Amino acid sequence: MATIWLRRSRTIAQSLKHKYGLTGILGLEGCNSFQNLHASSPSSTNHDRHLLVSTYKYSTTIVSDKRLKSTVALKHLDSTAFASDSDDEQALDFPGGMVSYTSEMQFISESQEKRIPCYRVLDDNGEIINGSDLELVSKEVAVKMYNDMVTLQMMDNIFYEAQRQGRISFYLTSMGEEAISIASAAALSTEDYILPQYREPGVLLWRGFTIQEFANQLFGNKADYGKGRQMPIHYGSNKLNYITISSPIATQLPQAVGVAYSLKMDKKDACVVTYTGDGGTSEGDFHAALNFAAVTDAPVVFICRNNGWAISTNVSEQFRSDGVVVKGQAYGVRSIRVDGNDALAVYSAIHSARKTAISEERPVLVEALTYRVGHHSTSDDSTKYRPVDEIEYWKSARNPVNRFRNWVESNGWWSDTEETELRSSLKKQLLQAIQAAEKTEKPPVSDLFSDVYDVTPSNLREQENQLRETINKYPQDYPSDVPV
């Protein structure tokens, strides 16, 4: 960086030379390359900058039953910063654009005065707030969204219970966060790829993964696409463009950028949506992913479900920033904070984010504020580390499913009778699915050895033969529901 100063101010250069004998240190190459850069004319850089700024003023046509309004993205860059100030001695021509000088030693504050506001459309009672920006949702879509949210709730109740009865080894609910996965899925096309964390089975549900398919994975039977190899809730579906969940946190995020880049290169009318929790944002992979996405102009939407907790770690212990949304700007990623318990707001934000990602070829970060109403998983008891009334508040007063139901009902699209019918039919389907999944045999022993590579290498063939001999000799050592 010393070269910059040398180029900009001969006096400083001289004094540096005196002080540190810098001429010997600075390679000629360094100086030259910087001069070349400078020679590429500051005016053209300014011009580029203006272009850039004008693209920020995009507007989306949004149809609302209450009001029509266009959304203007936050202006991140001040378009007037360099317009009147073309004196290149007053500004530093630096890769990425002109940087103005200041003699004021001012540190950028660690936080903004006000927290970034949270975009919402529905108030607590499920009524559309006057003047909201929103994407219209048809009756059909709205009713399916509500149906799926209820299905997710019922699935969570009944599968959770099945775990408590010892029928499956593990389970993890989406309670309190139903709106995020369902509404975001609703705003996407099924051509869009999903790289999930683990609390987004709602996306699969929306795309048509059946209750039986969920149950098969949970029981690890031979109909499980993962062939019983992973713990319960690690769903995946090639058919539905939902890449199989893996347990390590945040690893999916940089992968999502790679998938998105490929979609872009193939000129697909599709983007990638990847999910993470608030805890996931503390992993290095989160930061690498945002930066990579920005630099590669990848059409990827990062959705962070900020549900307040990462197992027992509260967000106040997770980061000191204003949540997650502010991290986008540091990486040059457009970002928005939405109320994750407002299905309409999530739907509208993701609809718009998807459009941006694909048409402008750029990543978007969406922070959805919500709350993990359930325990982290069946292995956790969250009352040990958080107050019960906090859980109760989010479960009742801020319940996303009830809020959405109020809105759907107010449109005359849903009634109590439909509600009762839906719930009782779901209960039946779920119990049947559990029974069927439980009865279905496990995948065969050969599935232990397949898929380690495309073709099973000799060491594994040898080990399989040995294992079969051992099984013949000691059948009592092995579970009887796994076909040999």
Ligand X SMILES: Cc1ncc(C[n+]2csc(CCOP(=O)(O)OP(=O)(O)O)c2C)c(N)n1
Q: Does 148 bind ligand X (CB under 6 A)?
A: no
Based on the residue annotation, tell me whether 317 is a catalytic residue of this protein.
no
405 Cβ neighbours under 8 A, 6+ residues apart: 126, 146, 414, 419
What is the smallest separation between the CB atom of 403 and ligand X, expressed in angstroms? 20
E strand map for 323-421: 334-339, 364-369
CA distance 136 to 344: 9
Whose Cβ is closer to ligand X: residue 249's or residue 257's? 249
Based on the residue annotation, tell me whether 377 is a catalytic residue of this protein.
yes
Find residue 195's DSSP bridge partners: 274
Q: Does 351 bind ligand X (CB under 6 A)?
A: no
Whose Cβ is closer to ligand X: residue 275's or residue 414's? 275
Residues that bind another protein (CB under 8 A): 166, 169-170, 172, 198-199, 220, 228-231, 233-234, 245-250, 279-280, 282-285, 310-313, 317-320, 376-381, 384-385, 442-443, 445, 447-449, 452, 459-460, 463, 467, 470-471, 473-474, 476-479, 482
Q: Does 376 bind ligand X (CB under 6 A)?
A: yes
Phi and psi torsions of 424, nearest 5°: -75, -35
CA distance 202 to 44: 48
Q: Does 307 bind ligand X (CB under 6 A)?
A: yes
Tell me the three state secondary structure of residue 133.
coil
CA distance 451 to 447: 8
Task: Select the residue whose beta carbon is closest to ligand X and give its number.
Answer: 277
Q: Does 327 bind ligand X (CB under 6 A)?
A: no
Q: Which stretch binds ligand X (CB under 6 A): 254-262, 304-312, 320-328, 397-405?
A: 304-312
CA distance 328 to 335: 6
Q: Does 247 bind ligand X (CB under 6 A)?
A: yes
CB 138 within 8 A of CB 390: no
Q: Which of residues 255-294 bind Mg ion (CB under 5 A)?
A: 277-278
The catalytic residue among 54, 247, 379, 446 is: 247
Whose Cβ is closer to another protein: residue 73's or residue 436's? 436
Phi and psi torsions of 342, nearest 5°: -115, 100
Helices and strands, counts by H and E, the chain: 18, 9
The DSSP result for 177-188, as a single string, is -HHHHHHHHHTS
Q: Does 310 bind ligand X (CB under 6 A)?
A: yes
Q: Does 398 bind ligand X (CB under 6 A)?
A: no
Based on the residue annotation, tell me whether 76 is a catalytic residue of this protein.
no
Own/partner contacts of 383-388, CB < 8 Å, gap of 24 or more, are 384/312, 385/312, 386/309, 386/314
Q: Which residue has the tokens 């900020």?
A: 306
Q: Using CB under 5 A, which of 152, 211, 310, 343 touches Mg ion?
A: 310
Q: Choose among 206, 205, 210: nearest CA to 187.
A: 206
H helices of 282-342, where?
284-295, 315-318, 327-330
The catalytic residue among 127, 161, 392, 462 is: 161
What is the smallest separation between the CB atom of 197 and ligand X, expressed in angstroms? 6
Q: Which stretch binds ligand X (CB under 6 A): 27-35, 61-69, 229-237, 275-283?
A: 275-283
State the binding string over 180-219 for ligand X (x if CB under 6 A, else -).
Answer: -------------------x--------------------
Q: Choose among 404, 432, 248: nearest CA to 339.
A: 404
Whose Cβ is closer to Mg ion: residue 198's or residue 292's? 198
Based on the residue annotation, tell me whether 247 is a catalytic residue of this protein.
yes
Q: Which stretch binds ligand X (CB under 6 A): 131-139, 241-249, 288-296, 344-352?
A: 241-249
Q: Choose among 372, 349, 75, 407: nearest CA to 200.
A: 372
Residues with catalytic function:
161, 247, 376-377
Instruction: Summarize as ranges the residues that interact with ligand X (CB under 6 A).
Output: 199, 247-249, 277-280, 305, 307, 309-311, 372, 376
